Amino acid sequence: MTEDPTIVVIGLGYVGLPLAVALAKRFRTIGFDIDTGRIAELRHGVDRTREVEPARLRETTLQLTDEAEDARGADLYIVTVPTPVDRTNQPDLGAITAASRIVATLIDPAKRPTVVFESTVYPGVTEEHCGAEIERAGGLTRGRDFRLGYSPERINPGDREHTVERITKVIAGDDDEVVEQLAAVYGAVTSGGVFRAASIKAAERAKVIENAQLGSLKLNKEQTS
C-alpha cells in the first residue's frame, strides 16, 4: 500500500459512518452504501443514527457515494455491513456476501489491495466465506491479487466515551505487511492504539468472546436491577 492510500468504507451505518468520517481526516476516503436514501440524507448533513453530528458531516472530506464504480481501484476496502441472525438464530451472511461480490468487481490486482472485514462474524467467515467469494466473483487469487484482514468493531451505539477514535483496535491480516498497513491506518485515527492478533481467526474469536461477555454482563445487570 502507498504512503497515501485511498480507502473505501462499504456500509455506512452505526459502525461504518463514524469510522469513515474519522479516516477521512487523515486519508482520501470514500464511503459507499447501497442505500440511496441514506447517502442522500448524509449529503444533507443528516445522520439518523446520531453517531455523527451534523457539523462534522458538513465539514468532512469523506466522499459519499451509492455508485460502486466510484470505489474502483482503491488500496484498502473496509466492509462494515450488517450480519444479523435470522429467526432461528442462524447468521444471515447475505449482506456480507453481496459486499464481497461488489468488492471483487472493484479490485485492481496490480494494487494488491487489502480487504478488511469489520462486520461481526463467527470464526472462519472472513477467509473461508468472504475471501473465497471474492476469488470466485472476481476471478482473483488471494495473496496474489488481494489480501485479507479482520478488525472487529467494538463500539456501542450512543457511547460517547469509547468511540472509534479512542478504542484499542484489534487487527489481523494475511501477512506481516498487511498487519503493519492496518496498524498505520487505524493507528492514525485512534488514540487507543492497536492490538496485533495472531491471526484473522484469532481476531474473529476475540470479538465473539467480547460479545458473549458483554451479553452476560447485561443479563446480570438486568437480573440484579
Ligand X SMILES: NC(=O)c1ccc[n+]([C@@H]2O[C@H](COP(=O)([O-])OP(=O)(O)OC[C@H]3O[C@@H](n4cnc5c(N)ncnc54)[C@H](O)[C@@H]3O)[C@@H](O)[C@H]2O)c1
Site of interaction with ligand X (CB under 6 A): 10-16, 32-35, 38, 80-83, 95, 98-99, 102, 119-120, 153, 155-157
- Least distance between ligand X and beta carbon 211 (Å): 8
Q: What share of the chain is helix, strand, coil (3-state, %, to 5)?
A: 45, 15, 40
**What is the rounded CA–CA span in Å between residue 75 and residue 117?**
14
Cβ atoms of 153 and 120 within 8 Å: the answer is yes
- Least distance between ligand X and beta carbon 207 (Å): 8
Q: Which is nearer to ligand X, 80 or 126 (CB)?
A: 80
- Least distance between ligand X and beta carbon 177 (Å): 26
Q: Which is nearer to ligand X, 96 or 185 (CB)?
A: 96
Q: Which is nearer to ligand X, 132 or 177 (CB)?
A: 132
- Least distance between ligand X and beta carbon 12 (Å): 5
Q: Which is nearer to ligand X, 10 or 107 (CB)?
A: 10
- Least distance between ligand X and beta carbon 19 (Å): 9
Task: Give me the residue whose beta carbon is nearest to ligand X.
Answer: 13
Buried residues in 189-213 as b, exposed as e (16+ CB within 10 A)? bbebebebbeebbebbbbbeeeeee
Q: Which is nearer to ligand X, 81 or 200 (CB)?
A: 81
Q: Which residue has the cell 470466485?
A: 136
- Least distance between ligand X and beta carbon 123 (Å): 14
The SS3 call for residue 174 is coil
Left, alpha or beta for 108 (phi > 0: left; psi -120 to 50: alpha)? beta
**What is the rounded CA–CA span in Å between residue 66 and residue 222?**
41
The residues, ordered by sequence, that sit 6+ positions from 224 with a Cβ below 8 Å of its Cβ are none
Closest to 118 in 3D by CA, of 95, 85, 86, 136: 95
Q: Which is nearer to ligand X, 15 or 22 (CB)?
A: 15
- Least distance between ligand X and beta carbon 45 (Å): 16
List the alpha helices (DSSP H) in the chain.
16-24, 36-43, 54-59, 94-106, 132-138, 176-189, 200-224
Q: Which is nearer to ligand X, 12 or 170 (CB)?
A: 12
